[in-house]
Amino acid sequence: MRQSPLQTAGSEEIAARLKGRDFIGLVDYKPEEIRYLIDLAVELKRRHQAGEVYQPLKGKTLGMIFEKSSTRTRVSFEVGMYQLGGHALFLSRDDIQLGRGETIRDTAQTLSRFLDGIMIRTYGHRNVVELARAATVPVINGLSDLSHPCQALADYQTVLEKKGRLEGLKIAFVGDGNNVCHSLMMGAAKLGLHFVAAVPEGYDPDKEVVQLSREAAEQTGGSVTVVRDPVEAVTDADVVYTDVWASMGFEHEQKERERVFRKYQVNEKLVAHAKPDYLFMHCLPAHRGEEVTDEVIDGPNSVVFDEAENRLHAQKAILVAIMG
């Protein structure tokens, strides 16, 4: 049985490195740091389920900037801060208008005088980077158009819990080469998994993200492949993952994307090519009947709600590590 990550040899040194860091993308974190956060998330989940009170963030406040709304991100961060003894302050796009009127730099410096950490969920990744550069408190990327690192951390926590390991597993992503795909890809590369994305032409993941992920995979024994054929991607997969075809901000492309992605639906016929004990994953919310059928998302291999719950525990691990 694994020791608590709070007790293992070397964990104190990793913990010291993480304090005060930003959490913008998994690309910025070493494999052992990502694994430390996952193990910490598992430990915090155990403590919570055992009814243990653990409040290392007592008296601390997290500011949450939502230019892009989200039920799961808001609830999980608010509940997480409450459970850790701190407070979360919700700032909607009506409360704060990044870069409109006041520069992002000035906003970052001002908020840093009030807050102990900032989480931002926004459209442009450059907003996250600019905010982090100017802020003097840790900044967490709650989602941008380029990446969704909190989701990926929760995803790999879920895989570890269900499979007992991460290294060597095959994860197939079917659909749009979007921000979720990017973070899953980088996470797989850093953690030694074999990642295969099946995407239609014109919807490929970002070339730089693919290249950086492949470079990371060379160091861990993992691999990163992008293909057109969903069957090729899913064959013998341990994990099958999909996301909505038209992410927020691309609703105007919905009809066109439905036509292009029709062959990329995750249904019973497609998952029959995966391993019998495969996990089905989706970051939610799901558009049932589009990217996934009811039979798959409600089937025995689906872990989507365990995955959703782990957003809470994974984000608590990030909060404790960088704000504690």
Q: Which residues are catalytic?
A: 121, 148, 151, 243, 283, 311
Distances (CA, A) of 170 to 189, 203, 235: 11, 22, 9
Q: What is the rounded CA–CA span in Å between residue 48 and residue 44?
A: 6
Of 260, 321, 252, which Cα lies nearest the Cα of 290? 260
Cα-based torsion angle of the residue sequence 269, 272, 273, 277 in order, rounded to the nearest 10 degrees: 150
First to last CA, the chain: 26
Burial class (CB in 10 A: 0-12, 13-18, 19+), 285: exposed
Using DSSP's 3-state secondary structure scheme, residue 238 falls into coil
DSSP E strands, 31-116: 61-66, 87-92
Give the sign of the dihedral formed by CA 280, CA 285, CA 290, CA 293: positive
